[in-house]
Amino acid sequence: MKLRLRFLFGMMLIMPVLAFSQNQNCVDFETLTLGTNYGNGINAQGEVIFTQSDIPVSVEYFEWTGGGGMFGTANVMDGTSVFGTMNSMWTNNINLGFDFTGIGYVPNRVSFDYADFGGNENISVNGEPIFAGELDMAPMPPGISMVITNMGTYMKATLYGPVTKLIVGGQEFQLDNICAMLVEDTGPCVEFETLPMGQEYGNGFNLQGEVILTENGIDVSVEYFDWLGGGGTFGNCQVIDGTSYFNTGQAMWTSNINLKFDFTNYTYTVNWVSFDFYDGGGEENFSLNGQPNFVGEIEDWMLPPQFTLGITDMGTYKHCVISGNAVITSFQFGGQEYAIDNICAGYVDDPGDCVDFEYLAMGATFGDGFDPMGSMIFEENDIPVFVEWFEWVGGGGTFGNCHVIDGDPTYGTGQAMWTSNINLRFEVPTYPASTWITFDYSDFGGNENIGVNGHPLFVGEISAAVLPAGFAMSITNMGAYNQATIQYSDGIITELVIGGQEFTIDNICPSRNVGVDDLYDENKKVSLGQNFPNPFSSHTVIPFGVTETTDITLIVYDQLGREVAVLADAAFGPGDYELNWDASTVTKGIYFYQLRTGTDTQTRKMLVE
């Protein structure tokens, strides 16, 4: 597939990567001996009693509500019945101090599990005065918030914000699993991982249009929600545990409110957006580029003509992709009982000569019920693509459907098109003239149609196809798929019609019979060619051409956008060049190589098998 990705991170059009990293250090008391006692008569106040995971743990004075206090005792006890794990610590009028300054980072999230069997508790964060009372009433210092979650047999308290020290204890108070974490956002998505669990936004908290979060350069604001039939409201949204819906981290629950994602300050131009959602009921709002809200179900939303919409059922949630050949500046959506997560944005730029369906949204469907027969459904690289009637063996036919699928299992790269009793017609540009055309296909059953330059269709098995005089077709078995090449010796190819009953196609590439010198664009200083061989297992060659002396860098990236290798960083004079890349030490998968000058960036995709 000839695809330039100016900005792409992991499984872009299938499922977003969990885009945050996490360091974690925990104290779980498992290194201590069951029944060991600490505190009054055994240790001095402030004494460190043990260190686990680089976190020193000390015993501290306990303060009572109303004044006074004492230095009581703590002992290691079995925590199985309460926490489901071995050792825990029982505190009786004593506090434990946890010092996180030696773990090598400043945690921005600290959690601990506890069970309160009576009396009051103490808590202090970052050296602030001790609060004495019930934990759920404790105030936090500026920049810190605490969320307490009922876990059934115990409670989990989570502190959000930079925490260097924690003191906590009680009168009849059991404690376990004190964990310090550094949660960092490293991806191109908004996933709400850095927000406090349980935090609310919207009515009573924010003004309409107020930005509540900026993540990866994407501003997120809270907006008015429109109702079906007229009217609307400004409701609320809340950070929730997204595990049961999306299997990862945190998510946002929206209740009669919209979230607007503004890409104008984003690092890259955006022409695709993906997101995950769970619809619990009611209606939703959707708006692209500031257009009026669509109110209803997303499956009924009619996007602007330059964009396509694809929805994939992931089981407990749905994954949606909006993609097109125009810029997306903002995307606004929300619902009445609606959870959202992993809002990702990027830019797909295809400079090649092929139709490879990469501009389309995964799952986008065309044909019967979606498009009139003979209508153009999209255009890629100046090649308009139309949906057409399908003919059956023995006569008759139908106008079926086609939809965008993941092409990786079959073709090893990106997206492909599944056809079910429908033909696709590709109008081939006459300049530059094409005397041959190639396409990849895989036949899973039934018969196929194929036609060229307006001639009657051949109906049957494509391997037995008879084309008009002057046309010759050869088929090469590529393993999981076949590659067909059609050559016209008496003129140029202006049209290809192809489809099937259970038939996938990809990489429809018209080409001229040209020499090596013609591979490069004369109007550019540099042109990047496709690597060969591709796919490959260990070594490959990357060609590029230079028309005038210029500084060039050529870098290999993985699917997460991480730099893998720098193959060139120097000035190159006019000529054709080939760079070798040794991929024997990298894992199998898709990689991207990018050539940059001061004024141009070109990217291509390759597959390591």
Instruction: Report pLDDT digits (tens) over 51-91.
Output: 999 999 999 999 999 999 999 999 999 999 999 889 999 99
Residue with structure tokens 């885009």? 19
Report domain 20-184's class.
Answer: mainly beta
The CATH number of the structural domain formed by 189-349 is 2.60.120
Query: What pLDDT does 5 receive?
Result: 27
The CA-based angle 199-201-207, given to 5 degrees, is 150
Amino acid at 81: S
- Greater confidence (193 vs 110) lies with 110
Per the CB < 8 A criterion, the answer to whether 491 and 396 are in contact is no
| Torsion sign across C-alpha atoms 501, 503, 507, 513 | negative
Say yes or no: domain 522-608 is CATH 2.60.40.1930.
Answer: yes
- For 607, phi then psi, to 5°, come to -125, 125
pLDDT digits (tens, 9 = 90+) for 129-171: 999 999 989 998 877 878 788 888 999 998 878 899 999 999 9
Q: Which residues pair with 604 in a beta bridge?
A: 593
The CATH number of the structural domain formed by 365-511 is 2.60.120
Question: Looking at residue 558, what DSSP letter applies?
Answer: -
Give DSSP secondary structure letters for 14-74: T-----EEEEEEEE-STTSPTT-EEETTTS-TT-EEEEETTEEEEEE-EEPTTS-EE--EE
pLDDT digits (tens, 9 = 90+) for 216-244: 888 999 999 999 999 999 999 999 999 88
Interval 257-267 mean pLDDT = 88
pLDDT digits (tens, 9 = 90+) for 294-321: 999 998 998 887 788 888 788 899 988 8
Mean per-residue pLDDT over the chain, rounded: 86
Question: Looking at residue 2, what DSSP letter applies?
Answer: -
Residue 374 binned pLDDT confidence (cut-offs 50, 70, 90): very high
Per the CB < 8 A criterion, the answer to whether 344 and 9 are in contact is yes
pLDDT over 90 at 214, yes or no: no
349: burial class by Cβ within 10 Å (0-12, 13-18, 19+)?
middle
pLDDT digits (tens, 9 = 90+) for 28-57: 999 999 999 999 999 999 999 999 999 999
Domain positions in the chain are 20-184, 189-349, 365-511, 522-608
522-608 has the same fold as 20-184:
no
Give the separation between CA 566 and CA 48, rounded to whole angstroms.
49
Interval 468-476 mean pLDDT = 87
Residue 561 binned pLDDT confidence (cut-offs 50, 70, 90): low
pTM of the model: 0.48
